[in-house]
């Protein structure tokens, strides 16, 4: 659980950084820094969010402030090297391409029609034509991907849950930076709508992965056997997501 992590006394408690928004400067960037106290943690662990959009440190309970700062200092070089290898973070705008189900589509803006997004062919190539005001283009594309995710993923959940012999209580769509999907202990499935930029086999794998967790809440041999039963191309899709997932997470849909 996320809560206060610094051990404080006296005056230091009055201005606790644990109650403030944390950032960390690295490689010329100021990144959001999230500190998560975990009762089971035996040591500090550092993670870069997908797309390099932030940092996360998991710490044991009651850790002193100085320990976290020294830990970050020791890993500054590692952070700089990893961030340098991350893909660019393109802002969604007319003239660039983003993939839809693995196929690159040119973003085209047309202001003369009511705000919507349509899949068309422009100049002989696939395109996402965004109508309406330019200021709302990024949001409309994000909403479009959410609708596509709902249309593709809900039927896949229905099919895979029948095969697995389990029921999903709900299916939700989010824009998460740390994971592509999740399955809660009470059967709620969540998916990042960004997965609609991946090829269909990768979308199918992600759904199979989370549905398999309805039966096996772990990553043991039985889980992977069920995942491969639901999606025979699991290994191929898993490798694709590991290679390319960071680039999909890096695309900026903010206005």
Residue 18 DSSP symbol: G
Tokens of 184: 């809660």
Tokens of 32: 């959001």
pLDDT confidence of residue 50: 65
pLDDT confidence of residue 111: 84
Residues sharing a CB contact under 8 Å with residue 17, sequence separation 6 or more, in sequence order: 6, 65
Look up the pTM and report it: 0.70
pLDDT confidence of residue 46: 92
- Residue by residue, DSSP assigns 110-137 as ETTS-S-EEEEEETTEEEEEEES-GGGH
Give the count of alpha carbons within 13 A of 252, CB side only. 10
pLDDT digits 0-9 by tens, 195-224: 999 999 999 999 999 999 999 999 999 999
pLDDT < 50: residue spans in the chain: 1-21
Query: Which residues belong to CATH 3.30.2010.10 in the chain?
Result: 97-250
| Distance of alpha carbon 223 from alpha carbon 72, whole angstroms | 35
Q: In whole angstroms, how large is the CA radius of gyration of the chain?
A: 21
pLDDT confidence of residue 147: 97
pLDDT confidence of residue 17: 34
Q: Is CATH 3.30.2010.10 the classification given to domain 97-250?
A: yes
């Amino acid at each position: 659980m996320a809560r206060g992590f610094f051990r404080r006394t006296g005056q230091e408690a009055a201005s606790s950084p644990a109650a403030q928004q944390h950032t960390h400067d690295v490689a010329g960037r100021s990144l959001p820094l999230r500190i998560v106290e975990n009762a089971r943690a035996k040591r500090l662990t550092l993670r870069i969010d997908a797309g390099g959009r932030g940092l996360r440190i998991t710490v044991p309970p009651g850790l002193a402030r100085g320990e976290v700062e020294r830990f970050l200092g020791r890993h500054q070089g590692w952070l700089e090297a990893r961030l340098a290898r991350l893909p660019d973070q393109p802002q969604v705008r007319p003239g660039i391409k983003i993939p839809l189900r693995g196929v690159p589509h040119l973003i085209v803006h047309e202001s003369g029609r009511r705000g919507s997004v349509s899949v068309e062919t422009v100049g002989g190539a696939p395109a996402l034509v965004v109508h309406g005001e330019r200021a709302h283009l990024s949001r409309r594309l994000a909403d479009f991907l959410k609708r596509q995710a709902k249309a593709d993923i809900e039927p896949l959940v229905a099919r895979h849950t029948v095969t697995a012999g389990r029921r999903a209580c709900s299916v939700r769509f989010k824009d998460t930076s740390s994971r592509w999907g999740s399955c809660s202990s009470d059967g709620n499935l969540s998916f990042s709508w960004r997965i609609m930029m991946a090829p269909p086999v990768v979308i199918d794998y992600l759904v199979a992965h989370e549905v398999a967790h309805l039966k096996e809440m772990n990553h043991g041999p039985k889980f992977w056997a069920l995942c491969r039963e639901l999606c025979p191309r699991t290994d191929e899709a898993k490798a694709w997501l590991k290679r390319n997932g960071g680039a999909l997470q890096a695309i900026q849909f903010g206005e």
